[in-house]
Amino acid sequence: MAAKERCEVCHDDGNAIIHVDCATHTYPDGTKGIHDMCFSVYPKEIVALCGPNGSGKSTLLEHLNGLMVPDVGRIRVFGKDVDKSNLSSVRRVVGLVFQDADSQLFSPTVMDDVMFGPLNLGLSVEEAKERAERALGVVGISDTGKIPHNLSGGQKRLVAIAGVLAMDPKILVVDEPTGDLDPSNARKIEHLLKSLRTEHGISVVIALHDIDMAARLADRVCIVKDGGIIAEGTPEDVLYNEALLTSAGLQLPTVARIFKSMGLESAEGNKPLTIEDLTQLMRDSFQRRD
């Protein structure tokens, strides 16, 4: 397919705050991280990128704030092409949280770590501290004098997110934030990401293996396979498509599997995504039978 034709497929409707336009990135060993990738992010939404290891999720994320640049195609952030001349301004609005929180924590104390980004923006020490305190308050970390590497895995992840929030981004890009966390800390991260969208108006792009979390959290789900997005839509539409998920090496969310196994699929077209929704549907179904 010619470049011009591909760009028509990747048409920007003008409402996207990030638009990935037919981007391809090939690693030095010849491996294609992403290929003819078309992707958009819209204001105040949570987008989940779901796919197996090696599908291209992390490569796509690192293109969104200019950490990587495509060999072919382009990335636009708030209507401007990302290139070497504007990386600093792009990274002010698109904050990236890596999968390994330790890679973002290197200062003597939690406060120092979270202040690092604002200081690099040229803010005064007083302004940087104010931003850091505000960001740490958002993520619920109060002991700011601790050494970051002595924190638990969940606390490290929260501090890493705070360090990005202190930069006051409009878009937060997060790579597998709960993969190595226990259920309690994973749920804290999930609630935090939801609150960033609902209470702070931040768009969130999140790469996930956890299909159940994607079902509960996302406004839109994109299925990533072989460096491209093969399907996207609402969680109800995408995460109930068993053939699609299987083709991408994924499986139905737990709630969807239970729902289908109980023969409730015809229940007025409902497609529950949470345990609470499924429980209510089961109650309603049993009441109708009585």
What would you measure as the largest C-alpha separation in the chain, in angstroms? 68
Choice between 290 and 119, residue whose per-residue pLDDT is larger:
119
List pLDDT tens digits, range 176-194.
988 778 888 888 899 999 9
pLDDT of residue 2 exceeding 50: no
Say how many C-beta atoms besides its own lie within 10 A of residue 239's C-beta: 28
CATH code, residues 3-239: 3.40.50.300
Residue 265 has pLDDT above 70, yes or no: no
Mind listing the pLDDT tens digit for each residue in 8-57?
567 777 899 999 999 999 999 989 999 999 999 999 999 999 999 889 99
Delimit the CATH 3.40.50.300 region(s) of the chain.
Answer: 3-239
Of 68, 65, 73, the closest CA to residue 27 belongs to 68
Distance CA 19, CA 86 (A): 16
Q: What share of the chain is helix, strand, coil (3-state, %, to 5)?
A: 45, 20, 35
**For the segment 153-173, what is each residue's pLDDT rounded down to a tens digit?**
888 989 999 999 999 999 999
Mean pLDDT of the region 200-225: 95
Rg of the chain in Å (alpha carbons): 20
Q: How confident is the model at residue 266 (pLDDT cuts 50, 70, 90)?
A: low
Q: What are phi and psi of 169, to 5 degrees?
A: -75, 160
d(CA 158, CA 177): 9
User: Chain-wide mean pLDDT for the chain?
Assistant: 89
What is the Cα–Cα distance from 208 to 195, expressed in whole angstroms? Answer: 18
The beta strands (E) that lie in 157-208 are given as: 171-175, 203-208
Q: What six digits make up the tokens of 273?
A: 């995504």
